[in-house]
Amino acid sequence: MMDRRAFLRVVPSAAAACALPRFVRAGAAHAPALSVTPLAERLFLIAGGGGNVVVFDSPEGVLMVDGGSPERSADVLRVVKERTGSDRVHTLFNTHWHWEHTGSNQVLGAAGTRIIAHENTRLWLGTTVRCKWRQREFPPLPREAQPNQTFYTRESLSFGGEQIDYGYLPQAHTDGDIYVYFRSANVLVAGDIVSVGAYPLPDYTTNGWIGGLADATRTLMELTDDQTRIVPGIGPLQSRTALQAEHEMLAELKIRLSKLLAQGMSIADMIAATPTVDFDAQWGNPELFIANSWHGLVHRAWQLGVSIV
């Protein structure tokens, strides 16, 4: 019942590749080659190393958005060096804390890279996270691997001739999600807010919920136009039309699932009620999405002091 995206979400991770069991390291050594897609002049996408990685090669230095998984970090950084001619990364953005996106933090942080993230992402990377829906416990990263520059709302950075806007997307996939928008190139890096071929998953263990995902996709739509290339957390480039379809799905399912929860339904009851049936052909198996959304709605109601029944 697990699709490709769900599988990528539960690949075992560790603080560094050298700490992985021998059979995992051997599997990484025989992993498929990474692919590189040009996005604009000096801007490219590396795929296949866990989460998507966007690289900007500028006169001011190399800038990355996300770093792939710990198992593939060495491969990702090798491609970065081959493509840019530099073995130093000036700046790294973390779109959120999940390890398939923060796998290069330890190597780059130890080398002095500036790591920018939302403050909540720094907090999650600095503590043990018990992720129930993945059935995994993620230990804290070493201090040098944690973000060393954080923010709370939105900021801009002029870097290498490009204007880079980045902002917070509250309590969506997690409670530390951010977007990174390369304004001149018209490329938006959306992290796991944008999902391809599978329902986006609110990580309720770190305060994600379906309403936040709906709000986040609306915010991203406001940043984009029909020419914007949108980089999802995993998968190929997306258009504004695809983003709008995801927003409409999330907005509608937030209403449907909230009504079912108000009736006192359990997760099993919700799944049996098939509230996603008219979306499943596009988004796939809904069971984990419904289960995570149920937990997120319950937690959100608790935060707001709202009685469910």
First-to-last alpha carbon distance for the chain, in angstroms, is: 32
Which residues of the chain are modeled with pLDDT < 70?
1-30, 304-309
Confidence (pLDDT) at 308: 54
What residues does 179 pair with on adjacent strands?
Answer: 167
Question: What is the structure's pLDDT at 20?
Answer: 39
pLDDT of residue 27: 42
> Where do we find the tokens 């806007």?
165
Is the separation of the CB atoms in 70 and 99 below 8 Å? yes
Measured CA angle at 31 (ends 27, 35), to 5 deg? 160
CATH number of this structure's domain 4-241? 3.60.15.10
| 129: nearest Cα among 139, 114, 116, 143 | 139
Sign of CA dihedral 106, 114, 220, 123: positive
What pLDDT score does 305 carry? 67
- Average of per-residue pLDDT values in the chain: 90
The answer to whether 126 touches 146, Cβ cutoff 8 Å, is yes
**Contact, 76 vs 104, CB < 8 A?**
yes
Please report, for the chain, the start and end positions of each structural domain, with discontinuous segments joined by +: 4-241
State the DSSP code for 134.
G
Pairing of strands 53-58, 43-47: antiparallel
Tokens standing for residue 214: 């709906």
Cross-sheet strand order for the sheet of 114-118:
35-40, 43-47, 53-58, 61-65, 89-93, 114-118, 149-151
Burial class (CB in 10 A: 0-12, 13-18, 19+), 77: buried
CA-CA distance, 101 to 66, in Å (whole number)?
A: 5
pLDDT the model gives residue 30:
64
CB under 8 Å to 188, separation ≥6 — which residues? 179, 180, 181, 182, 220, 223, 224, 228, 229, 230, 231
